[in-house]
Chain A
C-alpha cells in the first residue's frame, strides 16, 4: 500500500473512531428518559 493509502486509512479510521468514542461516552454518561444513568 502506498503512503497516501495509509494516510486515507488512518484519517478515516481515526475520525470515525473518535466520533464513535465521543458518542459512546456521552450516551452512556447521559440519563435516559426513564431516569437511569
Chain B
C-alpha cells in the first residue's frame, strides 16, 4: 500500500493548526486567564509556550516525520524505531492511539450540538430564550436532561449527532490529502474570518446598556487583562498556564506524530511546527480573548461574569453567548457565526483524533482505508452511546481526565525522554534540521533535554499529588453516579487492553528485525 502524503506545506500546517484550534481556544482560555490573574497569567502562559509547547511541537513533528520514514504513522511503531532495543516501549505508544479515540467519542457529540445550534440560530429556534435561565432550560431539553416546550426528548440531538459523526467518518475515509487536508484548507480560513468578524463586532459594542455605563467592552477587556500580581505567587496559576498550553496545542495526544508521518524526509518541520503553534495562539489569545468574556461582561457585569466563569466553559458557550448575541441587531446571524465558528474548530480537531487509530490499522495490519474507517466507526459509535444517554452522570469528565489530561502529560513525558535522551540530543538536533527553513535557537538543545522533561515531571507530580487521589476515590461523584463512573472506567481499561493486544499481535506477525527504513 502506497503511503499517503500531504499535498502541500500549507495543507499540513493548516491541518495541524486545525487540530490544535478547538473549543478550548474560545471557551477555556478566557476563563482560565480571568480566573488566574488576568494579564499576569500571560507571564506563566508565555513561559509555558516557550519552554513546553513549542519544544513539544518540534519534538512531535520530528518524531512523526522520522517514524513515517520507517512506515509507521502511530506512536507504538515510532517509539519502537526510536528505541528498538526495548521491546516494551511500543506499549507506551498505545497511549497515543487510546487518548485520541476516547476524546473523539465524546468530542463528536459536543461538536454535534454546535451544528445543531448553528441551525437553531439561523432559523430562530431559541429566539425568546433571552435569559440565562431559559437558555439553560433549552440546552438541558436538547440534551435530554429535561423535557419541555423546546424539545420533547433527545431525538433532535441524536439526529445532529448522526450527521456530525457521519461527516467525520466520511472525511477520514476520503484520506489525508482529499479528506483532512481539503477540509482544513477551507475550514481554517472560514474559521478565521468568522472569528475576526465576531471580534470586531464585540469590540465595537461600547456600553450596551446606557443605564449601566461601567458595563462596557473596555472594562470587559480589563476583566480579562488587568493583572493581579498576587496570583503569580500561587503554584496553581503556573500549573493552570502549563495545562492550558498543553491542551491548546494538541501536544501529547499522538495526533501530530501521525500528521507529521505523512511528510517526506526532506520536508521542513521547524518552521511548520512553529507556524502551526503560533496560528493556534492567534486564535486563542487574540480571538479567544476578545469574544466571550468582554461580550458577557458588557451585558451582565462583573458579578455575573464570575458566576458564568464558575459555571464552566460549556455554559459560557451554549448559554451565555446565545443570550448575549440575541440582544444585538441581526442576532440570529451572529449566533450562527458563533456556533458555526466553534463547529469548524471542533470538526478540524475531531478528524485529527480519528486519524491515529485508522492509520494504526492501515499500517500495522495492512487493512484498507475503507475497512479501517468502518472498524473505527463501529467501535467509536458504540462507545459514544454512554456519553449521549448518560449525560449529566460525569461520564464525559471521567473520559476527559484519563484521555485529555493525565494521558497527555504521561505521553509527552515519555516522548520527550525518548527524543532527548534515548535517541540522543545530537541525532535529534540533526533530524530536526533536515530540510529546515529556519534554524532553531541553540538554547533549545538544553531546553528539550532538561527543561521540558522537568516541566512535565512537575505537572505530573502535581497531578499525582493533588488530582489523582480524589479522582480515583471518586470524591466529587454522587452515590447515584458511581455505577456510571465504574462502567466508564471498565470501558476505558477494556479499550486500552484491546489496543495493547493489537500492538502485540501486530509485532508478533512482523518478520524478526521489524522495521526497515522506507524513506
Sorted from nearest, which 9 A-B pairs have the closest CB atoms?
A8-B39, A1-B222, A32-B9, A5-B226, A23-B275, A5-B225, A33-B267, A30-B437, A9-B225
B286 touches A27 (CB 8 A): no
Residues of A contacting B282 in the complex (Cβ-Cβ under 8 angstroms): 16-17, 20
Given contacts A33-B263, A33-B264, contact A23 B271 (CB under 8 A): yes
Residue of A nearest to B281 (CB): A16
Which bracket fits the contact residues of A?
A: 20 to 34
Q: Are A12 and B279 in contact (CB under 8 A)?
A: no
B222 touches which of A5, A13, A30, A36 (Cβ 8 Å): A5
CB–CB B272/A27 < 8 A: yes
Judge whether A1 and B226 touch: CB under 8 Å: yes
Size bin of chain B's contact surface: 35 or more
Q: Do the beta carbons of B38 and A5 come within 8 Å of each other?
A: yes
Could you tell me if A30 and B9 are in contact, using CB atoms closer than 8 angstroms? yes
Query: For the complex, what is the distance from the CA of A5 to the CA of B96, rounded to whole Å?
Result: 39
Closest to A16 in B: B281
Q: Are the C-beta atoms of A8 and B274 separated by less than 8 Å? A: no
Q: Is B227 an interface residue (CB 8 A)?
A: yes
| Main secondary structure on A side of the interface with B | helix
Distance A30 CA – B437 CA, assembled complex (angstroms):
7
Q: A4-B39, A5-B227, A20-B281 are in contact. Are A27 and B13 (CB under 8 A)?
A: yes
Cβ contact within 8 Å between A17 and B9? no
Interface string of B332-357 (1 = CB under 8 A from A): 00000000000000000000000000
Contacts A9-B39, A13-B285, A23-B274 hold; do A30 and B226 have CB atoms under 8 A apart? no
Residues on the B chain within 8 Å of A2, using CB: 222, 226
A23–B278 touching, CB < 8 Å: yes
B residues near A32, Cβ cutoff 8 Å: 8-10, 267
Docked pose: A4 CA to B37 CA in angstroms? 12
Cα distance, A24 to B279, chains bound together (Å): 9
Contacts of B112 in A (CB 8 A): none
CA distance A9 to B42 in the complex (A): 9
Interface residues of A in 10-37 (CB under 8 A from B): 12-13, 15-17, 19-20, 23-24, 26-28, 30, 32-34, 36
In the complex formed, the residue of A with least CB distance to B38 is: A5
The answer to the question of B266 belonging to the interface, with a C-beta cut-off of 8 Å to chain A, is: yes
Point out residues on B near A: beta carbons under 8 Å: 7-10, 13, 38-40, 42, 46, 218-219, 221-222, 225-227, 263-264, 266-268, 271-272, 274-275, 278-279, 281-282, 285-286, 435, 437-438
Contact (A20, B279) CB under 8 Å given A2-B222, A5-B227: yes
> Do B278 and A6 have beta carbons less than 8 Å apart?
no
A sample of 13 inter-chain contacts (CB < 8 A) reads: A1-B226, A5-B221, A5-B222, A5-B226, A8-B39, A16-B278, A16-B282, A17-B282, A19-B274, A27-B13, A28-B10, A32-B10, A36-B8
Docked-complex contact B226 and A27, CB < 8 angstroms: no
Q: How far is the CA of A12 from the CA of B264 in the complex (A)?
A: 35
- Pair A16/B286 contact, Cβ less than 8 Å: yes
In the assembled complex, the CB of B32 is this many whole angstroms from the nearest CB of chain A, namely 14
**A27 and B285 within 8 A (CB):** no
Interfacial chain B residues near A6, Cβ < 8 Å: 225
Tell me the nearest residue of chain B to A11, going by C-beta. Answer: B42
Closest residue to A28 on the B side, CB-wise? B10
Collect the chain B residues with CB atoms within 8 Å of residue A30's CB: 9, 268, 271, 437
Closest to B223 in A: A1
Query: Given A12-B42, A30-B268, does the pair A19, B285 have CB atoms closer than 8 Å?
Result: no
- Give chain A residues whose Cβ lies under 8 Å from the Cβ of B286: 13, 16-17
Nearest chain B CB to A29's CB is how many angstroms away?
9
Provide the residues of chain A in CB contact with B266, threshold 8 Å. Answer: 33
What's the Cα separation between A20 and B9 when bound, in Å?
A: 16
Closest to B279 in A: A20
| B263 contact set on A, CB distance < 8 A | 33
